[in-house]
Amino acid sequence: MLTAPPPPASRRQFLTTSVAAALAAALPHPIFSGEPIAAPAASPPPPTRNGFAYRFAIGEIEAWSISDANLALKEGLGLMEPAADRPAMRADLLARGERTDVLPLYVNILVAKLGSEIAIFDAGFGAGKNPESGWLSSSLATIGIAPEKITHAFLSHAHGDHINGFVTGNKPTFPNAALHCLRDELDFWRSPAPDFSRSLRAQGPLPGMIKSNRAKFDILEPNLQLHRDGDALLGGAVTFIPGRGHTVGHSLFRLRSGQESLLHFMDAAHHHTLMFTNPSWAINYDHEPAQAVATRKKLFAELSTTHERSYGFHLPWPGLGRVARADAGYTWQPERWSWGL
Ligand SMILES: [Zn+2]
């Protein structure tokens, strides 16, 4: 391989740099000359990002939807089941002007202030190496809520995008919060051999995921309070609603204040069109796929009848809206943004 001589510009650059270096050596050191010492060259700062905390109300409850992440899952429709329906899913996405190359995955954290109590519903990925996720803590700071101020934490299920943020540096992120979850969810992860036999998800990461979750539950043990479907807390303002299938102890939550309510349906939908067009279309993260589909069908049938205001953990931020009937299935009607309470 031939080595080309450096182009003239490079040679000029080299000379210029050499002259500058020689001059710098001849000048007094800045500390003696009174000049400020230049900071060492640093990597460029990360791009500025908004706090993404959307404020709204549920009756007397002051609430926020905080974005913890907005990912583009590169497996795209490869994550969706049944596989035979992927061409139909693709056609449906195209008809609606949606992306088909990746699956967008939002992570929305609900925070609710009920008098002197502050509740949080799942905690996202946690701050880590990936700058595309783990935004919860900085957004909580922008709305003036210190982690110590949170009194009640609710865990819908123990996938990483929901539980990881509850632990920071081997300690509970919210040290003064009771952590509420269904007993069945905890029992599943602590069982000798958690059963993933019906799940279509990639099996490779499972041993690591089980180990990680057991360690997190151990750290959170002093804060844990275990529940059953239908349990109500905070004077009836928050109720555990059955949502099994995505995991064996997957729970939904209803928040109520006066005549108003919000149904937080967590991971009953991972996409804002696919699961609505056809509730049988499912992401392969489900542990119990048939039950997850049955849960979604029942939920959407109810919500499209009652028109109850709803909230989705994985729907486009801020994730508020309503489920309505459309064609042979349903549609997600996102709520318009409003800056007043
Ligand atoms: Zn999730």
| Domains of the chain as residue ranges with CATH | 53-334 (3.60.15.10)
pLDDT value, residue 339: 82
- Residue 312 CA, ligand 1 centroid: distance in Å: 10
pLDDT value, residue 18: 40
pLDDT value, residue 22: 40
pLDDT value, residue 10: 39
**In the block, residue with structure tokens 């109720």:** 239
pLDDT value, residue 131: 81
- Residue 227 CA, ligand 1 centroid: distance in Å: 20
Cα–Cα dist 295/90, whole Å: 24
DSSP bridge partners of 331: 324
pLDDT value, residue 235: 96
Cα–Cα dist 323/303, whole Å: 6
- Residue 267 CA, ligand 1 centroid: distance in Å: 5
- Residue 3 CA, ligand 1 centroid: distance in Å: 54
Q: Give the tens place of pLDDT for each residue, 214-254.
A: 999 999 999 999 999 999 999 999 999 999 999 999 999 99
- Residue 22 CA, ligand 1 centroid: distance in Å: 59
Phi, psi of 91 (to 5 degrees): -60, -40
Task: Quote the radius of gyration of the chain (alpha carbons, Å).
Answer: 25
pTM for the complete prediction? 0.85
Residuewise pLDDT in 10s, the chain (341 residues) = 333 333 444 333 433 344 344 434 443 333 333 444 455 566 776 665 666 899 999 999 999 999 999 999 999 999 999 999 999 999 999 999 999 999 999 999 999 999 999 999 999 999 887 888 899 999 999 999 999 999 999 999 999 999 999 999 999 999 999 999 999 999 999 999 999 999 999 888 999 999 999 999 999 999 999 999 999 999 999 999 999 999 999 999 999 999 999 999 999 999 999 999 999 999 999 999 999 999 999 999 999 999 999 999 999 999 999 999 999 999 999 999 988 75
Closest CA to 119 of 51, 62, 59, 170: 62
- Residue 162 CA, ligand 1 centroid: distance in Å: 6
What's the chain look like in SS3?
A: CCCCCCCHHHHHHHHHHHHHHHHHHHCCCHHHHCCCCCCCCCCCCCCCCCCCEEEEEECCEEEEEEEEEEEEECCHHHHEECHHHHHHHHHHHHHCCCCCCCEEEEEEEEEEEECCEEEEECCCCCCCCCCCECCHHHHHHHCCCCHHHCCEEECCCCCHHHHHHHEECCEECCCCCEEEEEHHHHHHHHCCCCCCCCCCCCCCCHHHHHHHHHHHHHHHHHHEEEECCCCEECCCCEEEEECCCCCCCCEEEEEEECCEEEEECHHHCCCCCHHHHCCCCEECCCCCHHHHHHHHHHHHHHHHHHCCCEECCCCCCCCEEEEEEECCEEEEEECCCCCCC
Cα–Cα dist 262/259, whole Å: 11
CB-based burial label for 70 (10 Å; 0-12, 13-18, 19+) = middle
- Residue 4 CA, ligand 1 centroid: distance in Å: 54
- Residue 216 CA, ligand 1 centroid: distance in Å: 17
Closest CA to 167 of 204, 217, 106: 217
- Residue 250 CA, ligand 1 centroid: distance in Å: 10
Q: How many CB atoms lie within 10 A of CB 26?
A: 7
The Cβ-side half-sphere exposure at 341, using a 13 Å CA radius, reads: 11
- Residue 282 CA, ligand 1 centroid: distance in Å: 13
Largest Cα–Cα separation, the chain = 82
Cα–Cα dist 191/210, whole Å: 10
- Residue 177 CA, ligand 1 centroid: distance in Å: 21
